[in-house]
A and B are shown apart, each in its own frame.
Chain A
Amino acid sequence: DIQMTQSPSSLSASVGDRVTITCRASQGISTYLNWYQQKPGKAPKALIYAASSLQSGVPSRFSGSGSGTDFTLSISSLQPEDFATYYCQQSYSLPQTFGQGTKLEIK
């Protein structure tokens, strides 16, 4: 199985800050990397697919980059509704696997 490791596991930031979350794959996955946002008690919401493509309806302050083994999710100017847990997911090979999550909290 491909292991997905996110860093940091948790992050405190303020409204207006720029934040970056990293996801590393245990082997190369090209750009088969997707990002999700999950709020407490809710299902995950798709943000980014294929490493850098924004899902329709997702604000442009979200962006993704990377290929191979190293990927990043960036939020350019944090809004109150962005405080949540973020997960990366590889869809390069089966079984699909997710990172352990990064909890973004208000400072």
Chain B
Amino acid sequence: QVQLQESGPGLVKPSETLSLTCSVSGGSVTKGTYFWSWIRQPPGKGLEWIGYIYYSGSTSYNPSLKSRVTISLDTSKNQISLKLNSVAAADTAVYYCAGGSGSVGDYKYWGQGSLVTVSS
């Protein structure tokens, strides 16, 4: 069974870069048909898709964040990373790593989430 675990700083200063890592166990990040996303949820609000990366390394980002986001794979560590530049208070949220397989685009696997607060 695939398991995901997010890690990273819980506090980031405004204008700095948010960096999170998602460690994957029970499966390879480069296994065919798998895709990995970052999804965030501001406190008390709904879910927002940030972007995804396929097992092949191809990426797609939400246009609302595209200029500030980078998602990448570290195949040697079986990890997915997220970098979000120039953060502001509005980027305060629980950040989830999620994964799926196949062509439907659903997320069968989720990390427990990592709360990131943007504050000076």
Are B96 and A49 touching (Cβ within 8 A)? no
Are B108 and A55 touching (Cβ within 8 A)? yes
Are A44 and B47 touching (Cβ within 8 A)? yes
Partner of B108, one of A32, A46, A91: A46
Question: A34-B105, A49-B104 are known contacts. Are A98 and B110 too (CB-CB below 8 A)?
Answer: no
Question: Does A22 make an interface contact (CB < 8 A)?
Answer: no
A interface bracket (residues with beta carbon within 8 Å of B): 20 to 34
Question: Does B106 make an interface contact (CB < 8 A)?
Answer: yes
Closest A residue by C-beta to B66: A95
A-side residues, CB < 8 A to B, are: 1, 32, 34, 36, 42-46, 49-50, 55, 87, 89, 91-92, 94-101
Are A101 and B46 touching (Cβ within 8 A)? yes
Sample of 19 further A-B pairs with CB below 8 A, known A46-B108, A98-B49: A34-B105, A43-B111, A44-B47, A44-B96, A45-B110, A46-B106, A49-B104, A49-B106, A50-B104, A55-B106, A87-B46, A87-B47, A89-B47, A91-B104, A95-B49, A95-B60, A96-B105, A97-B49, A99-B46
Question: A91-B104, A94-B60 are known contacts. Are A44 and B49 too (CB-CB below 8 A)?
Answer: no
Are B111 and A98 touching (Cβ within 8 A)? no
Partner of B105, one of A32, A43, A45, A100: A32
